[in-house]
Amino acid sequence: MQDLLKLKEVLQSPQNVVITTHHKPDADALGSSLGLYNYLVKKGHHVTVVSPSDYASFLHWMKGNEKVMVFSENTKKQAEELVNKADVIFCLDFSNLSRIKQFGELVRNSSAKKVLIDHHRDPEQFADYASHDINSASTAQLVYKMIVSYGDKALIDKDIAECFYAGIMTDTGSFKHPNTNKEVHEIVAELIDLGANNSEVSRLIYDTNSLDRLKFLGFALSQRLTVYPEYHTAFFAISMKDLEKFKSRTGDTEGLVNYALSINGITMAALFTESEEGVKLSLRSIGDFQVNTLAAHYFEGGGHKNAAGGISHKSLKETVALFEDLIKEYSEQLKNKTPIETYV
Ligand code: 5GP
Ligand code: MN
C-alpha cells in the first residue's frame, strides 16, 4: 500500500473517478465525499459519488448533492458501468468493504486503483493507496490534508470548505468529544479562512428539524428511554411502528443516542432501531469502555472506542434482552464514580 503522495502522480492526467462512502452516510462520510468530488472536478477529472444508500435531508445542501448516485436496484446497472470504467475508486470514511454491502463486491472486483481515506479501526487490506489514521477525528480532515499536501489549498473554495467543516463538526460532536484536539481547531480555522460559514453549516445540520421529528424526540425521551443506574447504562428501543407513527425519515434518529449518553454518571448508551433489515444498533460510551469491541463481538459491527454500531437479526425484544444480559456481564467495566440520580 502506498501513501497519497504517490497517488498524485496518477491524478496528473484526467481520470475516471468513483468516490464511495459508507451505508447511510453521515456528515463526515458525505462531506468528505462531496468535498473531494468538487476538488477533483476542478482538477478536470470525471467524477461520480456513489452512495450505497439514501441519507438524511439535512445533508442535501452540500454542493454536488444532486449529482450523487444512490445505489439501488434501479441504479445498479449504471453503478456497475461506472465501476467498470473507473481508473480510481476512493473509499471514504469506512475501513471494510462489507460496510457498503452489494456495492462493496463491485468495488472489490474492480481493476481500478483503490484509495482508502479513513479513521476507523482494523482496515481491510484492499487499497492500493491509503491515508488511514485512527487518531484523526474525521475523514474530512484527512481529505483536506491530502489536498493541501498536493499544493492545491487555493482550490478549496467556500463550498468545499463547508463540506469538510460539516464532517469535522459532526464527528467531533460539535467540538465536544475528546478527539477535538489542537489540529482540529487549526484546520477548522483554516476552513473558515477559506470561506466556510461555520454558523450557517451548524444551523443547516442541527436546526432544520421537522415538527414530526421534534415530536418524535419528545416521545422517545418520555416513552422509550430505559435507564439502568446500577449498570451506568441507558438505551432507547425504537420499533418500526414508532417510526411510522412519527412519519420518521432517514436521519430522524441521528443524535438521539447522545441524549442517553448525556445523563450524569452514564458509561454506555445505546439506540436500538428496528428496520426491515434487522435491529440497527448505535453504541456510545464515555471513558475507557470500548463499545467497538462489544459491537464486533455481539452485533456484527465495529467503529471507534466511544462510538460504534452494528446489527442484530433477533427481534427488537430479544435484542434488548441480550443487551440487558451483556450489561450485567460487563458490570465491573461499566462502573462509574458518579452515581446516576433518578427521581421517581
Ligand atoms: P452510528 O451509531 O452513528 O451509526 O455509528 C457510530 C460509529 O460506528 C461510526 O463511526 C460508524 O462508522 C460505526 N458503525 C456503525 N455501524 C457499523 C457497522 O455496522 N459496522 C461497523 N464496522 N461499524 C459501524
Ligand atoms: Mn467519520
CATH of the domain at 320: 3.10.310.30
**How confident is residue 122, by pLDDT bands cut at 50, 70 and 90?**
confident
Q: Are both 28 and 128 inside the same structural domain? A: yes
- What's the gap in Å between 340 CA and the centre of ligand 2? 30
Q: Are both 173 and 152 inside the same structural domain? A: yes
CA 22 to ligand 1: nearest atom: 12
Residue 87 DSSP symbol: S
CATH of the domain at 200: 3.90.1640.10
Three-state secondary-structure class, residue 225:
strand
Q: At residue 302, what are phi and psi to the nearest 5 degrees? A: 175, -155
Q: How far is CA 59 from CA 29, 167, 191, 250, 316, in A?
A: 10, 10, 18, 11, 29
The total number of structural domains in the chain stands at: 2
Q: Are both 84 and 167 inside the same structural domain? A: yes
Which domain range does residue 129 map to? 4-206
pTM exceeds 0.90: yes
For ligand 1, whether the C-beta of 121 sits within 6 Å is: no
- pLDDT tens-digit readout, 94-118: 999 988 989 999 999 999 999 999 9
Q: Are both 42 and 129 inside the same structural domain? A: yes
Instruction: Please tell me the distance from the alpha carbon of residue 85 to that of residue 111, in angstroms, as a whole number.
Output: 9
Grid coordinates given for 179: 478527539
ipTM: 0.95
- Ligand minimally distant from the alpha carbon of residue 93: 2
**How confident is residue 344, by pLDDT bands cut at 50, 70 and 90?**
low
Q: Is the separation of the CB atoms in 266 and 334 below 8 Å?
A: no
Establish if 340 belongs to a structural domain.
no
Q: Are both 61 and 186 inside the same structural domain? A: yes
Q: Which residues contact residue 104 at a Cβ distance below 8 angstroms, ignoring those fewer than 6 apart? A: 52, 97, 98
Q: Are both 91 and 42 inside the same structural domain? A: yes
Q: Are both 197 and 89 inside the same structural domain? A: yes
Instruction: Please tell me the distance from the alpha carbon of residue 285 to that of residue 291, in angstroms, as a whole number.
Output: 6
Establish if 257 belongs to a structural domain.
yes
Which residue's CA is minimally distant from atom 16 of ligand 1? 309
- pLDDT tens-digit readout, 178-233: 999 999 999 999 999 999 999 999 999 999 999 999 999 999 999 999 999 999 99
| Last residue of one domain, picked from the residues 162, 181, 206 | 206
Instruction: Please tell me the distance from the alpha carbon of residue 199 to that of residue 311, in angstroms, as a whole number.
Output: 34
Q: Are both 319 and 199 inside the same structural domain? A: no
Establish if 284 belongs to a structural domain.
yes
Q: What is the total residue count of the chain? A: 344
Q: Are both 44 and 139 inside the same structural domain? A: yes
